Structure formats: C-alpha cells, structure tokens
Structure 1
Amino acid sequence: MDTPPPPENLTRFDQVMRQLSKLFFLLGFVVICGQLWNLWKKPSLTDVPSITVTRTVPTATYWLYHWSAMELVLVTDGAATQDPCRKGIVGRFETVQCTLRFTDGTVVPWMSYANGRDRGWVEVHGRRYPLYGRGYVLLIRADGAKGESTMVHRATMPVFPAGAEGPALEAWMATDPLLAPLAPAFAAEP
C-alpha cells in the first residue's frame, strides 16, 4: 500500500518543529542511556573487609580478609601489627585505609576498595593491585623504611573451612612457592 504524500500545506515552521522533536527525542534517549550507564558503573559504598583469622609469630604475621565476594591473604615477612582501619576518600572512591607497623620500624600504609560485587583493588605505597574474586596473596616485607610489596593470584588457593581457617591457611602456605619460606615460622609456634 502506498503511503500518502505529505500535505502540501505544511509550513516551514511545521517542518522545523518535526525535525526538532525528532532531535530532542534522540537527545533524551542518549541522556537517559548515559545516566543509566553512570548508575551501573558508579562505585557503591565500600565494603569493609572482615578479618577471618590473624596470627603473629616473632618473624611473620598473616591476616585473611574477606569482602562480600573477594578474599585476600595479607602476609608480612617480619612481625607486624595493624592500626585500626578507617574509611577515607581517594578520588571518587570510598576506601578502607590501614597501616601496618613492623617491629623494625617499617610503616606501611595500605588501602582497599571493593565495589560490593566481585572486584576492587588494594594499594600499597601508590602501587595498585587488582582484586577480582578470591585467591589473592599480598606479601609485604619489612626493610626498615617503607617496605616492599608483592601481590600474586593463586587460582589453586583452597576454600578455607570456617572455624579452621588458620591451620588450613598455614598448611597451604607451606605448599606455595612465595610463602613456603615463612611457613616454618608459623609451624614452629603453637
């Protein structure tokens, strides 16, 4: 079926208004899509990690951190304590900021951000490491100054059973090439 031709009596004003209404509709659609994108990508409030288990021996310390969908094993080569963590703002991100204090005087500030889903990051002395899910190990060595950090992902890290995280973590540390040199220190202490 043929479409009828446009009426001849449309004025120039009517034609311009039709074109403008199409343009405004398209512009409105783009703005709405942009706002939805921003809402989806906007960081949610930072989850504060829970410390499932921690242990300090004379030459090393470890903490097992859990967020809603992420996990981090923080190990120090050298005995350390952690000051109470606090929330802060870095850029547009709400972060959890902590400080490790080693017995040799090394002070290591570190911070974490978790988006409430399954990703985030950990930053030590301006170096940012990604977190995507579980299986991450952050090793910080004391050096009398600011410390040295190494972060690795271990896809083979087991799920540590609730209530027995410490012994399971220490047994796994003994099998990990990065952490095996520290494992005897934990095994030697009851």
Structure 2
Amino acid sequence: MTSPERVPADDPHTGAPGPAVVLIGPMGAGKTSVGRRVARALGTTFTDTDKLVVRDHGPIRDLFLAHGEPHFRALEREAVVEALGRGGVVALGGGAVLDPLTRERLTSHRVVLLTVSPHVVASRIHGDERPLLGGEDPAERWLRIFEERRPIYESTAHIAFDTSSGPLSRVVDDIVAWAQSVPAQEAP
C-alpha cells in the first residue's frame, strides 16, 4: 500500500495556502466526519467553520437564541474567511453557502457537496440541538430546509457524493481521488 499523495497546498511563489477542498451540504450529511478523514488521507489540515464560531463566540444554539440567525450568519462568514485562508480541507456549516459573498469566495476552491437521504438523516439528527430544527418534527424541517437550499448547493459544488449508504471510507476515497485529480493550482 502506498501512502497518499499530498495535495499541493501552498503557492510555490508566496507560500500562501492554495485552494482548499471545501465540503458543503445539509445538516447531518457528515461534512465534519468525512472532512477529517479526507484531510488525514491528503496529509493536510482540517477546519470546521462551526467549530471556529464556537471557539470564538460560544455555542451556536446560544448565539441563535440570544442574537438571531442574521448575527450568527455574520459570524459564520468571518469563520469561512479564516478557514479558507488556512487551506487544506474545510467543512462549512449547512447554511454558510446562503451568503452570496461566501459563494463568491468559494469560486477559487474545490467544492464538494455531500448529500444524505431524508430517511437516513433522521437517525443522525435525532436528539440533536440544532437551532434550525427546533419546534417541529426535525426530519420534516430538515427536508424543507434541504429542498430550499438544494439549488444553491448544486450550483456551488463542482462534484457531489452521497453519504446515505455504504462505508464512509468509500466516500472519503472517492473525494480524495477527485481532489488529487484536480490539482490545487488548477482549481475550478
């Protein structure tokens, strides 16, 4: 078995991080789990924008309750800028791509859409404290949010992978193979 190839992450002239591999998609699609494994396989860093927001501002649920979604989205936008500046593999929160400026920033990166079927996501979000899923049947609310966002996800991503079935390692391997076939310096 050979070790995975390292994705070129730095500009050879400036030393700045090159285009990231960015995972987008709905809540519960596995962006964080898959992202960590993809980064490990590529020998690069992993950044989760939700974790950056929590690190700097506290729990997301508390931010939603105290300040509302627009305030959270502004903080999320800042976290995306920081994460993209680091390069490597980046997992965005499910709603991050709603921001037009974020979508514009993603054009110079390799963007992967992770999807999941509604019947599978129900078990992944059960008992979760995601603020957008409160107040009604979480699976129904998830489906409505996903259907609203689907056109944005699809128009932003360069490629899509479904995480509903099969081993997660298959999805990771497929993303790694794709990332290695699209050199960072030739990112879409």
Q: Do both share a fold (TM > 0.5)?
A: no
Report the TM-score, using the length of structure 2 for normalisation. Answer: 0.25
Rg: which structure is higher? 1
> Of the two structures, which has the highest relative contact order with CA contacts closer than 8 Å and spacing of 6 or more?
2
Q: Counting helix residues as a fraction of each chain, which structure ranks higher?
A: 2
Q: What's the TM-score once normalised by structure 1's chain length?
A: 0.25
